[in-house]
Structure 1
């Protein structure tokens, strides 16, 4: 009943928010100089934004900087599968020299892959960029069956093969375990598309190391509790009617509950900026929440298996993770360069959890291994913001460009 109750409440409040949105736009257009009207418009704007959306926002990546000049970029579909699409951001300038191909693996953890918009935009300066664009499970018909952790790894292998030989994989946060597993399976099978390099950024490879509040929450209840209390059936009128999902709004509620005061202050700042005519300052916060409040439902099978195998029983670092009946063996990785990146202040994947991948890959030569701890950043600062652009990205770029060919 959880999802049905949420849907009913959302449907009932939607007309009010829509009216507030139209009223705010009308008042700003007509009377932006009058204080009282500006206050009402600001209040309506904030009210209209206190909502969740369930569709992927646009990437809005239309160009990339290359050697100081702007190069047009178009978004293309390379491969579409029921639960995800492989997208390519293609530079349309045909005179450009070849650049390394990078598969950017986005999390499937309650938000859309557009959360990595800035990561992709930065990578585009020196690379040909592809991204895993995960679909909202509530929009996937039951005719397509379930989607498990095995399926997730299979998708990553299929996407890597679609990108082609000689590619590089960059995984951010949650998919680091699956990215390492997919690379190990491809290496063991001597798959010609196995990545030349693998970069794992702020991911929970071994959650036994320096457990965070997120890790402690995951082990505080048995997996049966998560299934009973957090899994819901998609209601009508959505395409995925009756599919079992972990709703994105539940995940978002958990994120917000970790720091509710900060989010209250952010919306207060939107109001204050609008009231005093500081539209650019307000727009920066508004843009963040347009992304943050766009939620993506997870298939129940994938969510429960991830909680159990990654956060509760630590299957990969213990050497017992299974993929379609096979034990995943990271020691099979020999030719893929490995880089791990962590944030000093990361309270989601703490220092030590990602670098654990280095010990799991003993047959990668030492000169092909790199680790970087970025001081002064939390989780999101590892892949977005000033330090990502100025300090982390140059190291990732150099590792990719220096990775030896097979």
Structure 2
């Protein structure tokens, strides 16, 4: 039961702030106060509205918000999000555009398990749907996973990716964003040795810490400075009785959010104060720039303790991927076994989370891959978020990634004809 009280205390504080916001909002809207307009009550109502919304979003999984897509035929087609593989800690989902012919490109977008939901890649998915069949790893909130499902660490994460790639087949192009980049590289190397026929055609790694020591940031410095004992004592708690995963050890989302916001506390404080003033003056709206950003940013999920601790210890402290010493299920993975999968790295020149140099290190590890199948790109002036979801992604990086995918696609025409004959015979 250790730390369960701390977990519940954080949830109590969040719940209390949400209640205070709702109370202030209701009080300011009391009809009797309308007799004599009072700017203070107007401000109180605005503060309550912003506060209630902010703390309420912290425990809500955002919706993908992708309902329809306009195809080349000029008609709007419904988007169905269908699970392809369902697992305890995460699913493989497909964004199926109904009524549209199957696209030639098949992309597996590997989302990070780093405190936010896979919906953080909403704009990335939206930009790829028009040109490809898009599949995404949709990780679950650890607080909703019963203890009976067991542990989930970096090795389990890697094996999940291996199974997802096998399910989609060899004509898949994988794009890993940020945190999962090193594990996706390891999963590809694992398949190269264990099941070569299931390897993807290409692998694009975007802003990932393949070698965190190649160019140190505050994140890597923290990983080396803190001890594993300190992390276990300060970051790990047990899920409270309110959730299905009661008793599971996690790195709580609310604690992660506190860390995120403390790094830029002045910026966030100003943003919330400005939003209160806009709301008081009637200038705010349901989907304005502030709400659109913070509805996603504040929605956090608990991370399995084993995954968080093993990531810090094995990826950052020991550099097992960087040193090509990563072990999965008792098997040492050799990244040099990748000989046919084209690999491309993308970095942002101003990335302060995975600085330039950390991701491109993957190319040096692929010793068995010819230079013709290696590529890299550093986007000038781009930060971490911009290289996969911002303007830099839309205008520059996305076209380069699709061009790389097309250059490394193999059209297996004989098999396609064979399949069509089989279908006809089956009918």
What TM-score do the two structures reach when normalised by structure 2? Answer: 0.88
Correspondence 1:184 to 2:189: yes
1:284 CA displacement: 1.5
1:41 CA displacement: 3.4
1: CA distance between counterparts of 2:25 and 2:339?
Answer: 56
Counterpart position of 1:80: 86
2: CA distance between counterparts of 1:189 and 1:35?
Answer: 71
Where 2:203 maps in the other structure, the secondary structure is: strand
Correspondence 1:262 to 2:267: yes
5 Å-filtered alignment, 1:295-314, equals 295-314=300-319
Structure 1 window deviating more from structure 2 (14-23 vs 236-245): it is: 14-23
Counterpart position of 1:16: 20
Correspondence 1:48 to 2:52: yes
1:68–1:223 CA distance, 2 compared to 1 (3 A): farther
Q: State the Cα deviation string for residues 51-78 of structure 1 (Å, max 9, x = none).
A: 1523321101123354494543111111
1: CA distance between counterparts of 2:142 and 2:27?
Answer: 33
Counterpart position of 1:5: 9
Match of 2:114 among 109, 112, 127: 109
Query: Which residues of structure 2 form unaligned runs of 5+?
Result: 413-427
- Asked whether the 8 Å contact 2:107–2:173 carries over to 1, the reply is yes
1:38–1:7 CA distance, 2 compared to 1 (3 A): closer
Counterpart position of 1:399: 404
Where 1:200 maps in the other structure, the secondary structure is: strand
Counterpart position of 2:425: none
1:175 CA displacement: 0.3
1: CA distance between counterparts of 2:145 and 2:265?
Answer: 32
Counterpart position of 1:90: 96
Correspondence 1:289 to 2:294: yes
1: CA distance between counterparts of 2:87 and 2:177?
Answer: 21
Query: Which residues of structure 1 form unaligned runs of 5+?
Result: none
**Higher CA-based Rg:** 2
1:370–1:87 CA distance, 2 compared to 1 (3 A): same
Match of 1:241 among 229, 241, 246: 246
RMSD of aligned Cα (Å): 2.3
Where 2:212 maps in the other structure, the secondary structure is: coil
1: CA distance between counterparts of 2:280 and 2:160?
Answer: 48
1:23 CA displacement: 6.4
1:20 CA displacement: 4.5
2: CA distance between counterparts of 1:219 and 1:64?
Answer: 46
Correspondence 1:210 to 2:215: yes
Q: State the Cα deviation string for residues 183-219 of structure 1 (Å, max 9, x = none).
A: 0000111342211110100000000111001110111
- Asked whether the 8 Å contact 1:273–1:282 carries over to 2, the reply is no
5 Å-filtered alignment, 1:130-279, equals 130-279=135-284
5 Å-filtered alignment, 1:315-354, equals 315-354=320-359
1: CA distance between counterparts of 2:296 and 2:70?
Answer: 23
2: CA distance between counterparts of 1:268 and 1:239?
Answer: 36
1: CA distance between counterparts of 2:282 and 2:360?
Answer: 46
Q: State the Cα deviation string for residues 4-32 of structure 1 (Å, max 9, x = none).
A: 321232344443234346668x68xxx9x
1:6–1:281 CA distance, 2 compared to 1 (3 A): closer
Structure 1 window deviating more from structure 2 (66-75 vs 188-197): it is: 66-75
- Asked whether the 8 Å contact 1:247–1:296 carries over to 2, the reply is yes
Where 1:192 maps in the other structure, the secondary structure is: helix
Correspondence 1:380 to 2:423: no
